């Protein structure tokens, strides 16, 4: 299916691994020129080379911290007028006790999961609206809609981001600019693998055993964790020409772990 975005330019923040990398891959397969930011230069460069080789698309790495003003300026200098903005990041740490979260933890989480995306949208949305075309997709967490103490550092700021994006989406929709959110559950990503490996070491188990424990404990209807490439395909669809009537929506992709009619 041709999504009608060949030749468009996209910024994908946090695109060196996991769901961000899968989003870059999906967009590159559609012929989008992608500018990819991440903090780790080695992994970022390797991902961009691999995706460019596989798809034939132009994929430019930008080693930068998109939660900082300096990093945002570096990214925007490389691609000042993108048609597409996709934002994600490594999820903040799991928390076992909300009382143990420090003020520094909150500032770090707010910078990368809330304030960074807002700053990008404030700078890029006027240009998208003036050109009459734009797509913004924020990859957050299902914890924004379905709170859990272990995910509070991630869920609370991203719930605020959903509120912001839905409000702003109403302003720019008339200019063929859409803003939407994807809220993933548990996916096999490098960040989750590291977190679960630490838990497994502490429990004397394995990564696979810890995954199965979560599936049973939370009654994941799909009986598995998600594949990031499947989520990347949804990101590309949200960025497509067919998404012009999709305004301020938040799609939870979580394997049926939650119970909600809407």
pLDDT tens column, 210-234: 999 999 998 999 999 999 999 999 9
- Cβ atoms of 45 and 96 closer than 8 Å: no
* pLDDT one-digit tens code per residue, 120-167: 999 999 999 999 999 999 998 888 888 776 777 878 889 999 999 999
Q: What tokens were used for 59?
A: 């994929």
Q: Where are the domains of the chain?
A: 9-187+226-251
Q: Where residue 96 falls among pLDDT bands split at 50, 70, 90?
A: low
Closest of 87, 82, 145, 75 to residue 117, by C-alpha: 87
Compute the distance between CA of residue 67 and CA of residue 116 in angstroms, rounded to an integer.
Answer: 5
User: So what's the pLDDT on residue 210?
Assistant: 95
User: So what's the pLDDT on residue 234?
Assistant: 98
Q: What tokens were used for 185?
A: 């559950």
Surface-to-core class of residue 23, CB atoms within 10 Å of its CB (0-12 exposed, 13-18 middle, 19+ buried): buried
- Cβ atoms of 207 and 197 closer than 8 Å: yes
The CATH number that domain 9-187+226-251 falls under is 3.40.50.720
Greater model confidence, 97 or 208 = 208
User: So what's the pLDDT on residue 104?
Assistant: 86
- Cβ atoms of 218 and 259 closer than 8 Å: no
Closest of 112, 120, 158, 164 to residue 139, by C-alpha: 158
pTM as predicted: 0.93
User: So what's the pLDDT on residue 93?
Assistant: 63
Q: What tokens were used for 111?
A: 């910078």
* pLDDT one-digit tens code per residue, 56-81: 999 999 999 998 999 999 999 999 99
* pLDDT above 70 for 169: yes
* pLDDT one-digit tens code per residue, 11-23: 999 999 999 999 9
Instruction: For the chain, give the mean pLDDT.
Output: 92
In the block, residue with structure tokens 């994929």: 59
């Amino acid at each position: 299916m041709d999504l009608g975005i060949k030749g468009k330019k996209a910024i994908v923040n946090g695109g060196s691994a996991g769901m961000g990398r899968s989003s870059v891959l999906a967009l590159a397969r559609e012929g989008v020129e992608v500018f990819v930011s991440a903090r780790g230069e080695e992994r970022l460069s390797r991902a961009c080379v691999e995706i460019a080789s596989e798809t034939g698309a132009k994929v430019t790495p930008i080693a930068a911290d998109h939660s900082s003003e300096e990093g945002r300026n570096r990214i925007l200098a490389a691609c000042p007028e993108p048609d597409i903005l996709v934002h994600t990041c490594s999820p903040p740490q799991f928390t076992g006790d909300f009382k143990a979260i420090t003020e520094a933890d909150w500032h770090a989480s707010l910078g990368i999961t809330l304030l960074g995306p807002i700053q990008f949208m404030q700078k890029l949305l006027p240009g998208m609206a003036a050109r009459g075309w734009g797509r913004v997709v924020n990859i957050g967490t299902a914890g924004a809609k379905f709170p859990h103490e272990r995910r509070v550092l991630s869920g609370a700021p991203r719930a605020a981001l959903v509120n912001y994006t839905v409000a702003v989406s109403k302003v720019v929709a008339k200019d063929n600019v859409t803003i939407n959110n994807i809220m993933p559950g548990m996916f096999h990503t490098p960040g989750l693998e590291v977190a679960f490996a630490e838990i497994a070491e502490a429990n004397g188990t394995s990564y696979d055993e810890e995954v199965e424990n979560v599936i049973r404990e939370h009654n994941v209807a799909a009986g598995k964790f998600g594949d990031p490439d499947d989520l990347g395909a949804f990101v590309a669809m949200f960025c497509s020409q067919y998404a012009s009537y999709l305004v301020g929506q938040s799609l939870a992709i979580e394997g049926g772990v939650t119970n909600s009619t809407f």
